[in-house]
Chains A and B, each alone.
Chain A
Amino acid sequence: MRKKQTISDILIEWKQDPVMRERIVHWHTIDKKAATLADFPADLHMSIQQALKERGINQLYSHQRQAYDMARTGHSFTAITPTASGKSLCYHLPVLQSIVEDSSSRALYLFPTKALAQDQKSDLNLLIEQMNQDILSYTYDGDTSPAIRTKVRKAGHIVLTNPDMLHSGILPHHTKWVSLFENLKYIVVDELHTYKGVFGSHVAHVLRRLKRICHYYGSNPVFICTSATIANPKELAESLTNESHQLIDQNGAPSGKKNFIFYNPPIVHPTFGVRRSAILEVRDLSKRLYNESIQTIVFAKSRVRVEMLVTYLKELTKKKIHDESIRGYRGGYLPSERRLIEKGLRDGTIRTVVSTNALELGVDIGQLQACIMTGYPGNIASTWQQAGRAGRRQDEALIIYVAQSTALDQYVVNNPAFLLGQSPEEARIYPDNLIILMDHLKCASFELPFKTTEQYGEFEIQELLAYLEAEGILVRTSDKWHWMSDRFPAHEISLRSASQENVIIIDQTIPAETKVIGEMDRYSAMTLLHEEAIYLHQGIQFQVEKLDWEEKKAFVREVDVDYFTDANLAVELKVMSEDRKKTFENGSVFYGDVSILAMATIFKKIRFDTHDNIGSGPIRLPPEELHTSSSWLSFERPPGWTDAMLTDAMTGTATSIASFIPLFVQCDRRDIHVVPQVKSIHAELPTFFVYDSYPGGIGISERVFDVWPELLEYVQSHVTSCPCDQGCPACIGPQESTIGLKDEVVKLLAYLQIETKGESYVI
């Protein structure tokens, strides 16, 4: 029998293989790093030391020790903790120590999802068991049975929950949690980097409300946050918690040598720039690693892709009975099933696991040898989280990033410096969003009456409270504003969206078992949930059968078709106010408020592979109004350009701009819209508007205001270097005919480059 190859054997082979050498665009090595250790703190309780020793831990990593010292001296802090760096000890140690010292002490752990809280609970309980101490930790979420809720509220030392539950299940009932709020020593916010955008802005307010309640009961808890590597962890933590933070960014955990490979599938259709499907490439690469018995994690972006890959790979084991060495792992699996897979990964019985980004977050599966990413995970922070899954202490690790043919992917694979050379994105939140602020002001008023001298977090709110009084929600007595409404505001406010009225998506594939599978803001629903639209949910195709606009319900049924739908949105955009402006030689960028009147007009059915238009139909929906913030770039018309030329070139450019904004701000492609206007109503000049998709704005376009020159530079260099001839989905969007549009876009971008690079001054 042939000897199995090691990772280094494979790497040597690939370096010599001409086919592989062509596909591997870039090869990067990260040297191994030794651990930086520190002794147990002198005051660390014997029972905790005992438990750690039982786990084979005789010393702490330096960052764990630093975390302990900061927490114990009452400093809120944020620790940057890459995958598998022992982050949970950063908060467990000070928390458990405080409870061992004083059994009335309490701690609250917040995880972005219910599942993560449940995962962490089993780990925490094991530690407590090893300590042999009487410490009670519970998860508190929608699944907690009413029978033990009272026990959790009164006696739980450590309560593990999520922001949604805190928002609607704990804070509005704080009187049932007196013993928690009176004695709260630590608030742990795990996976800090996931609190961004609309969700993060909501959570920022939930935490302000939490602090207000703590203050009412006389406690002043320390915040402990842990985060993946992002550009601005301290800033994010501070704006999320409204508290100053120390930063722990020196990680003491060791790591082995890592080989990071940038892999681009071969081009199969040169004119349209179509490459071989990333999925097939990933299948072949994983087979190779499986055959060499290299334990591998494969990341795919949707549940469907996970299942597809698992099916492909299981071909390898179909002749063996009861072979469990290849498994999928994604949301929707039962918790017990997930535990079994995690265990299989730790003890090595599972050799290949295919996962969605579910395994990106802090689930303990030990360390694997190789990691394959199907497509760019969307941001640098996630990429490093996923890559971090590979790399045992001593061994060499292999990370392969397989690019898809989208704009962002092609850019990333061809510009390794983007991933390797710069810090990850910023995660931004925008607690100032007036709608979000008002929502939580209502919740806070419900929880405790505001005094007529009180402020809320960093906000002065007396005038806003007067507004709520005029709305008939509050009543003012001599010194307080009292909630006077029979509504329960937390139930009307979802942390996961900004607009107040969402369209609920109901799956009626099985008539007897209709179920809600998601929700969408009204604005996006116009183009994505109109009747006959093909709606993709977790990779599954659904057709919208009925859209009840009055009731905000979309009824969908699962289908299997070879096309997608694309709707046209007629947008009328008005500038309401210009708040900031920067002027360049022949153009200006602005930031301000805009009002958008949008109406969906028609939709087209477009075939998957060929992008042929195979049918269309009208959309009959009333126009929607959206007030939001926007940043826009107006410029003098380039000499000699006709309206028609400019329209096409600007459309292509807008497509490209929209793809690249997520590079600068951690946000979803859906969070922003880019609209080109050849002659804007506002200034009668050609203008690109970038606006936030959420009412009131969410801070993205405000950030874009600052980065226009860099943004255009990225777009230009990418479109120019894209290997396609006429424009493709990877750059300016698919083009119907060969009219040389790509050249025009490049020309326009070059022109804009000059425009924005000139000496700028701020008004």
Chain B
Amino acid sequence: MSFEKNLLQMKKLIKKKPATKQSVAPFVTPQKPSYSKAWEDEGLSIVENKFGVVFEKKIVYAPEHVHGDFKLKEIFEAFTLWNSFKGEHPISTDGKKIVFFDTETTGLKGTGTYIFLIGQLTWNEDHFEMTQHVLADPSHEAALLYECGLWKPGQTVITYNGKSFDWPQLQTRWTLNREHLPILADPIHIDLLHGSRRVWRNELDQFKLVHLEVEKLGFKRVGDIPGHLAPIIYMDAVKSGVPTTLLKVLHHNEWDILSLLTLFIHSTKLILQEQYNNSSVSSTNIGKWFSDLKDFDKGQSVFEQIIKEYSKTEAAQAFYFLGFEYKRRKQMILAYEAFEQSLINLSDVFQIQAYEELAKIAEHVKKDYLAAQVHVEKAVLLIRNTKHLKPLQKERKNWAFDKRLKRLVNKQTISRASARFDRK
């Protein structure tokens, strides 16, 4: 029966009375869900605390455990690399109290979205330990949040897209249970999605973790469930009490977290490698990242290595950024050469930028107005033909180049006139 057809019957259900005030009740520990036994039979253990119950699954990995191209213990090499790195970097860490963290939720946003699975991977004396906590039912939420221990201070969490998703979700859930729970900690948070975008920009076209696994981490999942089905599977498990498929979600979460760890190893090694010879694109990205972090020396040295290692075509982008590094250091002639080299293989938008820089240096440093004019004219042609600028951007750039062009023509007239004057 359609909703509209139910209308008449439903109408009888509407009853009204003046609003009464609800009194705030003290915390009452909720009842254990009826399906507890069934879930325990599937291998989940039940943990009780003062807020109710939570289901738990623990998995232990030896340091030698292999996931894709990496052994888990290589994480310690990554920590060592960071510890010897002098400087600041968003993904740098001292390697203490590290938690690799990922959640599964019943929706995408808002207070009606529950976190139903919290997975955490930590190092425990001589082995890695995965702890997964599953929400027993929505009334046991405080129990889940308390048990996950993220209120304990001093931890560093490493996530994939956790800054805009998992952690705000956790804060939302925490706020809804705040009168009972200890305050949520504000840990150091390293989000590897951001880092991956920086490292593999222009090289990968999507940044789903599963995609990275295949392309970069040498790992291929077999029998995984698609992530978007996770909410439905959990909700079905709660409504029906049958947890079989839910275990697949736990497995999915386990893979996510193991890949998160190997991704950290891989990114660290790329960023802090001795020789930037892995790929010209990602190496250039890494150099640019250092420059943006104001670590100009490191940035410049990365670009210079790329230029040595790779063909001029592959190094074009590095030349381009190197141009800016030289310009920053007022080494204008070097900058000019670098920008000229970069032109060989740049996208049109970058080319327009490079021509602008060339025109500036030609005009103000080299006083070669004709050369400057040529650069401007090339840029204007590119602006006209590019498909990568919006009309408004085109208009703005055209306006600026037009002004420059007029000035250059003017300067040439003056300098010709003064040359004639000198001859006299």
Cα separation A319 to B231 with both chains bound (whole Å): 69
Quick check: A176 and B172 within 8 Å, CB to CB?
A: yes
Q: A441-462: contact bitstring with B at CB < 8 Å (1 yes, 0 no)? A: 0000111110101110111100
A715 to B16, CA, bound (A): 37
Which residues of A610-667 are within 8 A (CB) of B? 625, 627
A703 to B112, CA, bound (A): 37
- Indicate whether B10 reaches chain A with its CB closer than 8 angstroms: yes
Verify if A482 is at the interface (C-beta below 8 Å from B).
yes
Contact B14–A484 (Cβ < 8 Å): no
B305 contacts the other chain (CB 8 A)? no
CB distance from A183 to the nearest CB of B (A): 15
Q: Which one of A173, A438, A459, A486 lies within 8 Å of B231 (CB-CB)?
A: A486
B10 and A446 contact, CB distance less than 8 A? no
Asked if B17 is at the interface (CB within 8 A of a chain A CB), the reply is yes
A660 to B83, CA, bound (A): 81
8 Å CB interface, A159-205 against B: 172-176, 178
Q: Which of A458, A467, A477 has the most CB of B within 10 A?
A: A477
- State A340–B303 Cα separation when bound (angstroms): 52
Contact of A173 (CB < 8 Å), options: B17, B19, B109, B139:
B109
Q: Are A447 and B112 in contact (CB under 8 A)?
A: yes
Chain A facing B: main interface SS: mixed
Q: Tell me, in angstroms, the Cα distance from A575 to B21 when the chains sit together.
A: 40
| Chain A residue contacts of B46, Cβ below 8 A | none
Whether A475 lies near B8 (C-beta < 8 A) is no
Partner of B137, one of A176, A477, A627: A477
How far in angstroms is the closest Cβ of chain B from A478?
A: 5
Query: Contacting A475 at CB < 8 Å: which of B16, B110, B238?
Result: B238
Question: Which chain A positions have C-beta within 8 A of B208?
Answer: none
A484 touches B239 (CB 8 A): yes
CB-based nearest A residue for B21 = A215
Segment 472-509 of A: residues with Cβ below 8 Å from B: 472, 475, 477-480, 482-490
A175 pairs with B172, CB closer than 8 A: yes
CA distance A432 to B14 in the complex (A): 8
Q: State whether A478 touches B30 (Cβ < 8 A).
A: yes
Give A618 to B415 CA distance when docked, in angstroms: 77
Q: How long is the Cα–Cα vector from A464 to B109 in the complex, in angstroms?
A: 25
Contact A460 B28 (CB under 8 A): no
In the complex, the answer to whether B22 meets A454 with C-beta atoms within 8 Å is yes
**Of all chain A residues, which has the CB nearest B22?**
A454
Given contacts A174-B111, A593-B8, whether A477 and B13 have CB atoms under 8 Å apart is: no
Known pairs A178-B175, A475-B138, A486-B231; A446 contacts B15 (CB<8 A): no
CB <8 Å contact, B111 and A173: yes
A728 to chain B minimum Cβ distance, whole angstroms, is: 39
- What residue in chain A is nearest B235 (Cβ atoms)? A484
A459, A472, A695: which contacts B16 (Cβ < 8 A)? A459
Q: Is the CB of B172 within 8 A of A449?
A: no
**Which A residues touch B3, using CB under 8 A?**
435, 438
Let me know if B111 and A486 touch, CB within 8 A: no
A434 touches B14 (CB 8 A): yes
Given contacts A451-B22, A472-B239, A467 and B112 within 8 Å (CB-CB) = no
Nearest-neighbor residue (CB-CB) of B107 within chain A = A486
Closest CB-CB distance, A536 to chain B, in whole Å?
29
**A447 in contact with B111 (CB, 8 Å):** yes
Residues of B within 8 A of A690 (CB): none
Q: Which B residues are in CB contact (< 8 Å) with A625?
A: 4
Q: In the complex, what distance in Å separates the CA atom of A479 from the CA atom of B31?
A: 10
A451 to B7, CA, bound (A): 25
Contact B107 A487 (CB under 8 A): yes
Q: List 30 A-B contacts (CB under 8 A).
A: A172-B109, A173-B110, A173-B111, A174-B111, A175-B111, A175-B175, A178-B175, A215-B22, A434-B11, A453-B22, A455-B17, A457-B19, A458-B16, A458-B18, A475-B235, A477-B30, A477-B137, A479-B139, A482-B138, A484-B235, A484-B238, A486-B108, A486-B235, A488-B107, A593-B8, A593-B11, A627-B4, A627-B5, A627-B8, A695-B7
Additional A-B contact list (13), CB under 8 Å, known A448-B176, A627-B7 = A174-B111, A434-B7, A451-B22, A455-B19, A455-B20, A458-B17, A459-B15, A464-B14, A477-B139, A485-B106, A486-B106, A488-B109, A696-B7
What are the 8 tightest A-B residue pairs by CB atom distance, in nearest-first order?
A: A446-B112, A482-B138, A483-B112, A477-B139, A175-B175, A172-B110, A486-B231, A460-B15
Which residues of A does B touch, CB under 8 Å? 172-176, 178, 215, 242, 432, 434-435, 437-438, 445-449, 451, 453-455, 457-460, 463-464, 467, 472, 475, 477-480, 482-490, 576-577, 593, 625, 627, 695-696
